[in-house]
C-alpha cells in the first residue's frame, strides 16, 4: 500500500468517530433553550437596543453568574444577524466544532514528535463521544465549556513556542479564553509558571503585565453571585470526590459500582499526572533534551496537567455541596478524558521502532471500546434530556386550555427560530381526550396505565412502572398529562439504563423495563388536576385519562436567583 493511500485510509478512520458523533448529535439536538440559554435572548434584546459602542461592549462582556461569556454572545449575535433568528442548534454546532479543535493540536504534538498519523486514531475515538452529552446538547454551555478547554490548550501551546509571533498569538487566544468562562482565568498563572520555568524573563514580564490588566478587566464591576450550598463532606469525602472527578471518564465502563470505578481510575490518573509532572520538571532542570520540540511538549503537558488538577479543585470546592455523585457529571467529564489523552502522549511518544504499531493498535482497540461504552451508556441521558426540553417548552408555550400560543408580537418573542415539534400533533388529541377520556390510535394503553403506579405525595406526584419494554428512541415513550379547569401540563417519564450487558451490547436494548417520573407541584398552578398518560410510539399517539386526580392547593414555584 502506497504512503498516499495509507494516509487516506487512516484519515477516513479518524473521521469515522467524528461523523458518528455529529450523527448522534443531529438525532437528539433540538432548537429549545435550556436554563441559561434564555439569557442569550436577553442579550440580543440588550445589544439590539444599545445606542453606543460602549453599551454594546458592556452587553457582550456583562457578567453571567461568575463568568464572562463574551464568546458565547458574539456567536449568538452572529447567528441572529446572519439568519434573522436565533437557533440553538447552530450554537451547539459552534460549541462542538470548538471541541474538535483539540484534535488538530494533538496531531501537531504527535507529528512534531515524529509519530505517524496512525497515532492520532485513539484521540479521535476517545475525544468526541456521547460522554459529553450535556454540553453537547446545550447551546450556551457547549460554546462555553468546550470553548474554554480548547482555547486554554491552544494558549498554553502557543505560549511556550520560541517564535515571537506565536507568543503574540497566545496573548490574543488567552484573552478569548478568559472571556469565555471563569476557569479560563487559570491560564494566566499557568502560563506565567511555564514562562518562569523556561527562563524567558522578558516574556514573563509581558505576560504578567497583561494578566494583571485581564484580571482587572474581569473583576471590574464584578458582583459575587449567589453561592452554592455549603459542603458538609469530610476531608476524606472531598478527596474521594476529587479522585472521582479525575477518573469520571470511567463512568460508562459496564460495572455495578460506577462511582467506585471513577474513584479508582481517578487515583491511577492522579498518580500518573504527578509522575509525568515530576519527570518533566526533572528533565527541564537537567536540560536533557536532544530535540527542541521535546521541551515544548513537556511544557505544554505540564501546563495542561496544572489546568486539569486546578479545575478539579475548583469544581470539588464549589460543587461538593450538591453531592459527590455530581462530580462525575457529563459537564465536567472533559477534564478526565483530557488527562487520559495527556497520559497517552507519554505512552506513545517514547516508543520507537517496530514496537510502535502494535502498541498503538492495542490502544486503538481500548479507545474504540471506550467509545462504544460511552454511546451505549449515555444514550439514555440524551433521550431523557430531549424529553425534558420538549415538555418544558410545551408548558411555557400553552398557558391556557385553548392550546394556542399567545399572540406575542414583541421583538423578544421573534428572536428564536420557530421549530416544528412533534407534540404539535397532540393538540387536537389532547382536547378530545379531555372531553371523552381517550384519543388516538395507540393500543394496549389501558393495560399500561393499569400497570403504572401513581403515588400522590404532599408536594409531588411519583409515577412508576416496571413492565414497559419499548426500545424506541428519540421522542417515543410515555408522557404524563395533567388537566385542570384552566391548564394543561405535560411532563416526561424517564427511562433507566439496561444493566443486562448481554441485552445491551448484543440486542441493543438500551432501556431497562419500566419508566419513572417525579412531578413537583411547585411547577403547577393551583387547582384540581386529572391525570392522563400519553403514549408516543413512532407515529402513533394514544392519550388516556382514568380516575386518578391530584390537588394542588398552593402555587409556590421555586425561583433561582440569577444575575442575568
Where do the structural domains in the chain lie, given as residue ranges?
3-27+39-222+231-384, 424-552
Q: Cβ distance 329 to 132 under 8 Å?
A: no
- Three-state DSSP state, 489: strand
Distances (CA, A) of 95 to 50, 76, 150: 26, 11, 10
User: Looking at residue 290, what is its pLDDT?
Assistant: 79
Q: Cβ distance 530 to 549 under 8 Å?
A: yes
Closest CA to 69 of 175, 176, 184, 181: 181
pLDDT tens track for 184-243: 999 999 999 999 999 889 999 999 999 999 999 999 988 887 766 677 778 889 999 999
Quote the pTM value. 0.94
pLDDT tens track for 244-288: 999 999 999 998 899 999 999 999 999 999 999 999 999 998 887
pLDDT-derived band at 563, boundaries 50, 70, 90: low
Superfamily of domain 424-552, CATH level 4:
Immunoglobulins (2.60.40.10)
Which H or E run includes 368?
helix 356-397
Indicate the burial class of 190 (C-beta count within 10 angstroms; 0-12, 13-18, 19 or more).
Answer: buried
Contacts 24+ apart (CB under 8 A), 117-120: 117/7, 117/10, 117/11, 117/14, 118/10, 118/357, 118/360, 119/348, 119/356, 119/360, 120/10, 120/14
User: What percentage of the chain exceeds 70 in pLDDT?
Assistant: 98
pLDDT-derived band at 458, boundaries 50, 70, 90: confident
pLDDT-derived band at 393, boundaries 50, 70, 90: very high
pLDDT tens track for 415-441: 999 988 999 999 999 999 999 999 998
Which H or E run includes 517?
strand 515-520
Closest CA to 302 of 278, 277, 282, 326: 277
Cα separation, 196 vs 208, in Å, equals 11
Decide if pLDDT at 21 tops 90. yes
Q: Count Cα neighbours of 95 within 13 Å in the Cβ-side half-sphere.
A: 28
Cα separation, 564 vs 558, in Å, equals 17
- The CA-based angle 61-152-132, given to 5 degrees, is 95
Decide if pLDDT at 564 tops 70. no
What average pLDDT does range 58-83 have in this prediction?
95
pLDDT tens track for 102-132: 999 999 999 999 999 999 999 999 999 999 9
pLDDT-derived band at 502, boundaries 50, 70, 90: confident
Decide if pLDDT at 375 tops 80. yes
Instruction: Please name the residue that has the C-alpha cell 403547577.
Output: 524
Residues contacting residue 484 through CB under 8 Å, at least 6 positions apart = 525, 527, 528, 529, 530
Distances (CA, A) of 233 to 240, 273, 328, 548: 10, 25, 16, 41
- Phi-psi map region of 327: left, alpha, beta (phi>0 left; psi -120 to 50 alpha): alpha
Q: Who wins on pLDDT, 419 or 555?
A: 419
Q: For the chain, what is the total number of helices (H) and then of strands (E)?
A: 21, 10
Residues contacting residue 57 through CB under 8 Å, at least 6 positions apart = none
Written as nine digits, the cell of 296 is 515544548
What average pLDDT does range 353-377 have in this prediction?
92
Cα separation, 493 vs 470, in Å, equals 13
User: Looking at residue 226, what is its pLDDT?
Assistant: 72
Distances (CA, A) of 264 to 242, 243, 246, 248, 268: 11, 8, 10, 10, 7
Cα separation, 458 vs 473, in Å, equals 33
Residues contacting residue 460 through CB under 8 Å, at least 6 positions apart = 518, 519, 520, 521
Decide if pLDDT at 354 tops 70. yes
Residues contacting residue 430 through CB under 8 Å, at least 6 positions apart = 403, 439, 481, 488, 543
User: Looking at residue 505, what is its pLDDT?
Assistant: 85
Cα separation, 311 vs 231, in Å, equals 17
The alpha carbon of 114 is separated from its chain's Cα centroid by a whole number of angstroms, namely 34
> Beta-carbon neighbour count of residue 329 at 10 Å?
16
pLDDT tens track for 144-192: 999 999 999 999 999 999 999 999 999 999 999 999 999 999 999 999 9
User: Looking at residue 562, what is its pLDDT?
Assistant: 58
User: Looking at residue 324, what is its pLDDT?
Assistant: 86
- Three-state DSSP state, 235: helix
User: Using only C-alpha atoms, what is the Rg of the chain?
Assistant: 26
Task: Write a three-state SS string for 326-338.
Answer: HHHCHHHHHHHHH
User: Looking at residue 444, what is its pLDDT?
Assistant: 85
User: Looking at residue 1, what is its pLDDT?
Assistant: 64
Residue 305 phi, psi (nearest 5): -60, -40
Amino acid at each position: 500500500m502506497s504512503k498516499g493511500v495509507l494516509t487516506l485510509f487512516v484519515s477516513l478512520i479518524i473521521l469515522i468517530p467524528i461523523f458518528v458523533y455529529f450523527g448522534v448529535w443531529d438525532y437528539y439536538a433540538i432548537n429549545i433553550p435550556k436554563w441559561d440559554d434564555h439569557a442569550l435572548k436577553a442579550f440580543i434584546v440588550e445589544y439590539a437596543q444599545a445606542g453606543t459602542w460602549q453599551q454594546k461592549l458592556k452587553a457582550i462582556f456583562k457578567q453571567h453568574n461568575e463568568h464572562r461569556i463574551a464568546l458565547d454572545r458574539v456567536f449568538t449575535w452572529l447567528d441572529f444577524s446572519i439568519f434573522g433568528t436565533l437557533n440553538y442548534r447552530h450554537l451547539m454546532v459552534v460549541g462542538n466544532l470548538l471541541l474538535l479543535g483539540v484534535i488538530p493540536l494533538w496531531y501537531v504534538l504527535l507529528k512534531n514528535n515524529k509519530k505517524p498519523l496512525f497515532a492520532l486514531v485513539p484521540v479521535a475515538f476517545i475525544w468526541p463521544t456521547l460522554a459529553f452529552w450535556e454540553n453537547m446538547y446545550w447551546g450556551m454551555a457547549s460554546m462555553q465549556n468546550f470553548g474554554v478547554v480548547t482555547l486554554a490548550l491552544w494558549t498554553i501551546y502557543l505560549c511556550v513556542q520560541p517564535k515571537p509571533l506565536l507568543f503574540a498569538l497566545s496573548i490574543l487566544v488567552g484573552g478569548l479564553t478568559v472571556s469565555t468562562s471563569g476557569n479560563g482565568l487559570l491560564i494566566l498563572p499557568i502560563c506565567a509558571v511555564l514562562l518562569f520555568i523556561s527562563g524567558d524573563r522578558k516574556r514573563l514580564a509581558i505576560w504578567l503585565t497583561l494578566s494583571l490588566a485581564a484580571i482587572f478587566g474581569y473583576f471590574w464591576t464584578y458582583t459575587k453571585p449567589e453561592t452554592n450550598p455549603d459542603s458538609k463532606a469530610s476531608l476524606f469525602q472531598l478527596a474521594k470526590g476529587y479522585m472521582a472527578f479525575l477518573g469520571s471518564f470511567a463512568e460508562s465502563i459496564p460495572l455495578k459500582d460506577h462511582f467506585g470505578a471513577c474513584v479508582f481510575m481517578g487515583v491511577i490518573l492522579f498518580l500518573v499526572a504527578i509522575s509525568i509532572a515530576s519527570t518533566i520538571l526533572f528533565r527541564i532542570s537537567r536540560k536533557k533534551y536532544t530535540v527542541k520540540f521535546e521541551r515544548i511538549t513537556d511544557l505544554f503537558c505540564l501546563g495542561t496537567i496544572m489546568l486539569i488538577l486546578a479545575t478539579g479543585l475548583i469544581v470539588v470546592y464549589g460543587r461538593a455541596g450538591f453531592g459527590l455523585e455530581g462530580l462525575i457529571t457529563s459537564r465536567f467529564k472533559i477534564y478526565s478524558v483530557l488527562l487520559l489523552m495527556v497520559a497517552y502522549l507519554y505512552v506513545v511518544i517514547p516508543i520507537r521502532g517496530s514496537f510502535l504499531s502494535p502498541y498503538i493498535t492495542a490502544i486503538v482497540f481500548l479507545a474504540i471500546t471506550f467509545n462504544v461504552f460511552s454511546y451505549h451508556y449515555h444514550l439514555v441521558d440524551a433521550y431523557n434530556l430531549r424529553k425534558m426540553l420538549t415538555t418544558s417548552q410545551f408548558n411555557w408555550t400553552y398557558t391556557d386550555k385553548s392550546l394556542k400560543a399567545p399572540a406575542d408580537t414583541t421583538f423578544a418573542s421573534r428572536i428564536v427560530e420557530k421549530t416544528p415539534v412533534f407534540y404539535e400533533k397532540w393538540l387536537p388529541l389532547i382536547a378530545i381526550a379531555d372531553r371523552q377520556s381517550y384519543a388516538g390510535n395507540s393500543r394496549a394503553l389501558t393495560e399500561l396505565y393499569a400497570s403504572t403506579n401513581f403515588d400522590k405525595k404532599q408536594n409531588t406526584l411519583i409515577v412508576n412502572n416496571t413492565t414497559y419494554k419499548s426500545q424506541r428512541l428519540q421522542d417515543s415513550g410515555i408522557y404524563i398529562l395533567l388537566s385542570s379547569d384552566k391548564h394543561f401540563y405535560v411532563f416526561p417519564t424517564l427511562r433507566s439504563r439496561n444493566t443486562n450487558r448481554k441485552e445491551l451490547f448484543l440486542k441493543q436494548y438500551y432501556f431497562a423495563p419500566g419508566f419513572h417520573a417525579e412531578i413537583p407541584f411547585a411547577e403547577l398552578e393551583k387547582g384540581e388536576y386529572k391525570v392522563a398518560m400519553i403514549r408516543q410510539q413512532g407515529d402513533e399517539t394514544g392519550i388516556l385519562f382514568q380516575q386518578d386526580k391530584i390537588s394542588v392547593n398552593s402555587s409556590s414555584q421555586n425561583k433561582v436567583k440569577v444575575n442575568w
